[in-house]
Structure 1
Amino acid sequence: MKLVTWNTQWCCGLDGVVSVKRIIEGARAMADFDVLCLQEIACGFGGMPGRPGDQPAEVKSLLPGFQIFFGSAVDEFDANGKHQQFGNLIASRLPVARVQHHPLPWPPDPKATSMPRMCTTVTLSCPDLGALRVMTTHLEYYSASQRLAQARALRELHVEACALAAAPPVPDTIGTPFQAKLHAAQAILCGDFNMPATDAGYDEIQRPFRDPAPPAGGAPDKRLQDAWPLAHPGRPHDPTFRLFDRTYGPVPMACDFVFVSDSLAPHVRRIEVDLQTQASDHQPVFIELTA
């Protein structure tokens, strides 16, 4: 399975040009991906730099054969009644069984600019790896307290999903909303976490929890873990932000991560960052998992 994740900055490059096509081409240059996770996708915000259009529709037109799932963290109407949306998108050519859009905590922080954040999750079937969840998110940049609350919520979403996979609800009649669901303990969590690997939120996402169905003689704890050190032991993360544009700080940093559940960790084969593209103010990340 090949996945690319990218904070697109509403597909606005460092040249000021907004181009969804350039983002898709850049992702395809990294890999013939099965799943594409994009953050900062806009619709209806014509006043933003570069005047982005209906970007979910543009992505759909550029990816025939993919299912497109757009989750709006911001979903509102302006004074003239125009619908405005801003959030995350997952495109998958693997069969998808379920889609969930989870609002993340937005506790008050009157000293910081902030906006709602969310996590889009698709449960899909991968021929080599089985059922798994792909979760993509974009956490708060300006408020550390909000970001930590959101990191904790992401971990709790994974804990709950693992518990449901171990003890699913009693199914009801096929064709009703209570019909049996595909539950998956395996997960990939990716996106722009707006924090370095030294942040408390980074550790919180990876904090172990009790396995609801431990195998005989197996480890009693489960956790999400950063895939980068699995593929590059002892090597610092490649930077994914502020590599070319120093508007938000003088030093390049890594804040776009891919976390995998325990059972997927042995299947991580590659994880790389495109250190050349300037199609966004973030660098895309590619991960490959094999059976």
Structure 2
Amino acid sequence: MRVVSWNIHWGCGKDSRIRIHAIIDVLRKLNPDVICLQEVASNHPELEGGASANQFRQLSGAFGGYHAVIEPTSEIYQNNLPRQFGNLLLSKYRMTQVHRYMLPWPPDPDSPAGMPRGLIETVLEAPGGKLRLLTTHLEYYSKLQRMAQVQYLRYQHWEACERAKIFQPDPSLDAPFQLGYRPGSAIYCGDFNMLPGSDEYAALLAPGEGATLPLVDAWGLKNEQKHAPTAGLHGFAWPEKPDTYDYFFVTDDLAPRVTAMEVLSETAASDHQPIMLELA
């Protein structure tokens, strides 16, 4: 099982031109089973490079063998037309559930910038059994908001693990009540906008309660050196220096199955680098 996560910066490369085809070319060469993308735009001509096209549609159409889950966490209307910005998940595997969550966005007087953030959760019938795969993009400007979002991720993880423990199917219920099994086993990925060892990073990996499966940073499972930078490699204005913002976290029951965790540093199609996780 191969999963790629990538903040694509609405396809805007270091030359300030939008080339969604370059994003598509990189992804096709990687040939992942699941693709998790952040900063996908639609009808946003004011963004650098002019992101006026519907990139959700472009990317979904380019991967016809995948099922698409779209989550525009920001949806602003102008002349009654939606201007969307957010996350996209594409999967070759059969999905049995999809959940979309808006993350907390508490007011922060010290950080007026920011935007709504979200989380996509899917239950996949993957090799080795069902698992949850979740992708997100946390707040960058406000640590207060980012910490609130981390705590929400922890709550959702606790809830899933506890519900998995008590799950009992009941075929007598009407269809909307037949949610089906939602396992505790999970992969979390995306642009978390936090640095290794930060307070938010430590909070996400802190031990949970009850049936909560511990989360593990997948980088440390297959790499002895410190985290490789996932942004700041190709002369973009942001960030000031190369550093790590993008991660894969897995529940500890999946840790023995991790065979690779890589940062793919060659492409300059976005201000972030694609990251890739492989499970046996």
TM-score computed with the length of structure 2 as normaliser: 0.95
Question: Structure 1 residues 67, 86: CA separation in 2 closer, same or farther (over 3 Å shift)?
Answer: same
Could you say if the C-alpha distance between residues 232 and 44 of structure 1 is closer, same or farther in structure 2, counting changes exceeding 3 Å?
same
Is the Cα contact below 8 Å between 2:192 and 2:247 reproduced in 1?
yes
Structure 1 position 111, deviation (Å)? 2.4
Specify which of 252, 255, 278 is matched with residue 262 of structure 1: 252
Contact persistence 1:40–1:87 (CA under 8 A)? yes
How far off is 1:174 after superposition?
6.4
Gaps in structure 1 of 5+ consecutive residues: 213-220
Deviations 1:21-73 (A, max 9, x none): 211211233x3210000000111212222222111110111101100101121
Q: Does residue 283 of the first structure (1) align with residue 273 of the second (2)?
A: yes
Q: Identity across aligned pairs (percent)? A: 38
Closer/same/farther in 2, CA of residues 169 and 75 from structure 1, 3 Å limit: farther
Query: For residue 184 of structure 1, what is the amino acid of its counterpart?
Result: P
CA RMSD of aligned residues (A): 1.5
What residue is the counterpart of 2:217 in the other structure? Answer: 226
**Deviation of residue 249 (structure 1)?**
3.7
Structure 2 CA distance, aligned partners of 1:12 and 1:273? 19
Equivalent residue pairs, number: 278
Distance 2:129 2:199 in 1: 32
Taking structure 1 as reference, are residues 175 and 273 closer, same or farther at Cα in structure 2, changes over 3 Å only? same
Amino acid at match of 2:273: Q
* Equivalent in the alignment of 2:142: 143
Q: Secondary structure of the residue that 1:236 maps to in structure 2?
A: coil
Q: Is the 8 A contact 1:21 1:62 kept in 2?
A: no
In structure 2, the partner of 1:244 is: 234
Alignment partners' CA distance in 2, 1:246 and 1:195: 19
Deviations 1:164-205 (A, max 9, x none): 111126635466201241311110000001111021111111
Contact persistence 2:14–2:236 (CA under 8 A):
no
AA aligned opposite 1:54: N
Residue 74 of structure 1 corresponds to which residue in structure 2? 74
Q: Name the counterpart of 1:215.
A: none
- SS of the residue corresponding to residue 196 of structure 1 reads coil
> 1:122 deviation in Å?
0.9
Matched residue of 1:28: which SS? helix
| Aligned counterpart, 1:19 | 19
Listed as ranges, the matches of 1:138-177 within 5 Å are 138-168=137-167, 171-173=170-172, 176-177=175-176
> Counterpart of 2:25 in 1: which secondary structure?
helix
Distance 1:251 1:76 in 2: 32
Instruction: Work out whether residues 103 and 149 of structure 2, in 8 Å CA contact, stay in contact via their aligned partners in 1.
Output: yes
Q: 1:57 to 1:18 in 2, by over 3 A?
A: same
Partner of 1:49 in structure 2? 48
Tell me the distance in 1 between the aligned counterparts of 2:88 and 2:104.
Answer: 19
Contact preservation (8 Å) 1:69, 1:90: yes
Distance 2:157 2:6 in 1: 21
In structure 2, C-alpha distance between the alignment counterparts of 1:18 and 1:132, rounded to whole Å: 34
TM-score w.r.t. length of structure 1: 0.91
AA at the equivalent of 1:207: A
In structure 2, what residue type is equivalent to 1:116? P
Counterpart residue number, 1:181: 180
| Offset of residue 246 of structure 1 | 4.9
CA distance in 1, matches of 2:5, 2:41: 16
Deviation at 1:224, TM superposition (A): 1.0
CA deviation string 1:245-269 (max 9, x = no partner): 3523432101100000111111110
Q: Give 1:153 deviation, angstroms.
A: 0.9
Structure 2: distance between partners of 1:114 and 1:180: 34
CA contact (8 A) 1:101 1:121 kept: yes
Give the Å deviation of 1:142: 0.6
**Does structure 1 conserve the Cα–Cα contact (< 8 Å) formed by 2:238 and 2:271?**
no
